[in-house]
Amino acid sequence: MKTAFRGALAAAILGAASAPGLAADLPSVKAPPPPPPVFVDTYQPFQVRLKVGAVVPTQGTASIFDAGAVYPGLPNAGSLGIATGLSGGFGTQVPGASTSISTSVIPMLDVAYYLTRNWAIEAICCVTPHHIQGTGTLAGGDLGRTWAFPPSVMLQYHFTNFGAFQPYLGVGVNFTTFWGTRAGNNNWALNVVPGSLLGVGGPVLGAAGLVGVNASFYNLNITPSWGVVGQVGFDYMFNEHWGVNLDVKYIQMETGAQARIVAFSPQIPALGPLYIPVHGHVNIDPLVVSTGLTYRFGGGSAAPVLAKY
């Protein structure tokens, strides 16, 4: 019995001594890396975005029409448009006359309410300054400067099956009003068509006719406009509250403008001031590209579900 016990004790001691050597011969196994953190998007119904945006008119062009300038004693009911060859008379378009409108970079504020995780209503607000200049027949004319206030209301659909990356589409309506509008009041040369009634070689003044006049816009008014808005963009959310945003909107913005020109002839000062009213149909149609911070708040629970009927 003692001999068997001593044999078992010796075997145990030998086994313990050889265990480290066996363990050293086994291949090492590393623990798997921890899983990446899961993006948790709890329902936050309210959203505010602070952004910087560029308002880029895709057109800025205008169709300019004769609003009925007259001068006593001239034929054709005294029409200055016909007498100078710049138009066919009251209500006709001034050939070659158009405008250009400057781009503006501005701060922007968006606020939104999420009806569900996917559907939201957003209101967009900003004010944007623009410079309007003449082109073509009106080249050199500084029509004026104005501030546009173009609030828009959008209905959006947000895609939420891409985790932190959340693209969206939107459609809505825009109302734009203009304020702080003022005429340019610069002096520029308005050329008279040769051979016209008052032009050089024309039937009225002949060789003494007008080559051009010194003109200036002294009055400008722009009417409000309504239009449709299309939108595409995305948020990249760092957590349930904070993210960054990139957004592109196209605004249908077509308005009317009324302006008055006063002109003087350096060749025939006896003519006195010539007052020339015009009106135009202005196509602005800006592209608004913006980027900034997104902040969502007011929730923490599951999103509501719209009732089904």
For the stretch 17-50, pLDDT in tens is: 444 444 445 455 666 766 655 566 789 999 999 9
Residue 95 lies in a domain: yes
Distance CA 92, CA 64 (A): 9
Give pLDDT < 70 ranges for the chain.
1-31, 33-40, 300-309
pLDDT at 74: 86
Q: Which of 235, 260, 256 is closest to 247 using CA atoms?
A: 235
Residue 22 lies in a domain: no
Residue 290 lies in a domain: yes
pLDDT at 307: 47
pTM of the model: 0.80
pLDDT at 271: 85
How many separate domains does the chain show? 1
| Domain range enclosing 185 | 47-62+90-190+213-258+273-297
CATH classification at residue 226: 2.40.160.20
Residue 277 lies in a domain: yes
pLDDT at 41: 72
pLDDT at 19: 47
Residue 70 lies in a domain: no
pLDDT at 42: 84
Residue 222 lies in a domain: yes
pLDDT at 305: 52
pLDDT at 209: 83
pLDDT at 300: 66
Residue 19 lies in a domain: no
Residue 99 lies in a domain: yes
pLDDT at 11: 47
pLDDT at 216: 96
pLDDT at 12: 46
